[in-house]
Amino acid sequence: MSLLNILRYPDPRLHKVAKPVTVFDDRLKKLAADMAETMYAAPGVGLAATQVDVHEQLIVIDVSDTHDQLTVFINPEIVWASDEKQVYEEGCLSVPGIYDGVERPKQVRVRALDVEGKPFELDCDGLLAVCIQHEMDHLRGKVFVEYLSPLKRNRIKTKLLKEERENSRDKKKAAAVR
């Protein structure tokens, strides 16, 4: 297994819409395993393939404290969502250090395939419901900051671009010293 590079907002590749998975092979299993390793190392509770520049409908999630309840969702779809909403403070591995409240359905039922291509349904609430909806947004090319006001979104974009420039400058300085 290997760690994958996580795209950072506002990278335009985060806005690509993922295609359904049609082939269930060793490549797909390796991708899911690499995504899980990347998610745990980040550390995070969910990761969509879009975030690692693979534009296929694949998500890995583990909201457990013990990191031993990994679920892989392939071609996920929400087949039911509660009318009751909740606001949850969300963060994202593609938008490091930024957290804000997003309103979503409190409960959802998701239908998906596992890495073998077997279908399953799962009723989700709490953090799991938030996470599945957040990651499915990635598959549609949407990042959670797009739920925020244009002013907040622009401030976040400016902050992350500034951090990226500073990190790049620091790396160049370090390379020049060698």
pLDDT digits (tens, 9 = 90+) for 57-67: 999 999 999 99
Q: What are phi and psi of 106, to 5 degrees?
A: -70, -35
Which one of the listed residues 89, 90, 135, 166 is annotated catalytic?
Answer: 135
Residue 131 marked ligand-binding: no
| Per-residue tokens: 136 | 């499915």
Mean pLDDT of all residues belonging to the chain: 95
Q: Is 166 among the residues known to form the active site?
A: no
pLDDT of residue 155: 95
Q: Is 89 exposed, middle or buried (0-12, 13-18, 19+ CB in 10 A)?
A: exposed
Q: With bands split at pLDDT 50, 70 and 90, how would you rate the model's confidence at 178?
A: low
How many Å apart are CA 66 and CA 72, to the nearest integer? 17
DSSP state letter for 103: E
Residue 138 marked ligand-binding: yes
pLDDT digits (tens, 9 = 90+) for 5-44: 999 999 999 999 999 999 999 999 999 999 999 999 999 9
How many Å apart are CA 111 and CA 80, to the nearest integer? 9
pLDDT digits (tens, 9 = 90+) for 57-97: 999 999 999 999 999 999 999 999 999 999 999 999 999 99
Residue 92 marked ligand-binding: yes
